[in-house]
Structure 1
Amino acid sequence: MQGKTFFIDLTKCTACRGCQVACKQWKKLPAEETRNWGSHQNPKDLSYNTLKLVRFTEVVEDGKLKNWLFFPEQCRHCVNPPCKMVADNYDPRAILQDPLTGAVI
């Protein structure tokens, strides 16, 4: 089975998080209950309901916000997905992998 690759042109990313919304809509995933925890990143991490996330890192110098660094992160549909290996210990149906395409669902 051949691996899959995602290419993200970071020079075009503005951290608008539109990709997060589009992913949830496309996959019909529910919104997560979130709260303000002191960062622009929301929700806090990837989960079974959040497969795409824009990670934010605030760069602070002399007690002042100097810059934001951001990176869009997503499920990578790994050939041997570690998330599936862990999930299989709890419920083998929690994360499935299509044997033909390798897609992790």
Structure 2
Amino acid sequence: MTIVHKEGNIHKNSYGLSRWELSNTPDNPAYVPLEEETQIPIEGISITDIGTEFFEEVRESYKQDKNCQMSTSLLDKACKDTSLVNALDEVWKNSYSEGIFHLFDGIIYHRTKHSC
């Protein structure tokens, strides 16, 4: 690469060097490849537009599953019934004892630790 000095009108010593633009091509020694856009996955779902019918269906579906029925009863009570806890399936019992389940408006929520 050859640097050629080109005098300018005001600053005669640096006009050509500071204003001359090199294209960003592989033959340019200062070539920087353009980065591809990184895609960020969406890891959240907004449920603000879901109607009350959906939540009613979820509450009704709890009646068909014994673990959901017992968990709803346990989470709704201030005093926990140990016989009811012991009647849960092992996976449900472990999650309940770890405090992962929460009940809000009759819906069971499964919370996990934040990964961020």
Shorter-chain TM range is: under 0.3
* Bigger fraction of residues in strand: 1
Q: Report which of the two has the higher share of helix.
A: 2
Structure with greater Cα Rg: 2
TM-score normalized with structure 2 length: 0.24
Higher RCO by CA contacts (8 Å cutoff, separation 6 or greater): 1
Q: Normalization by structure 1: what TM-score? A: 0.25
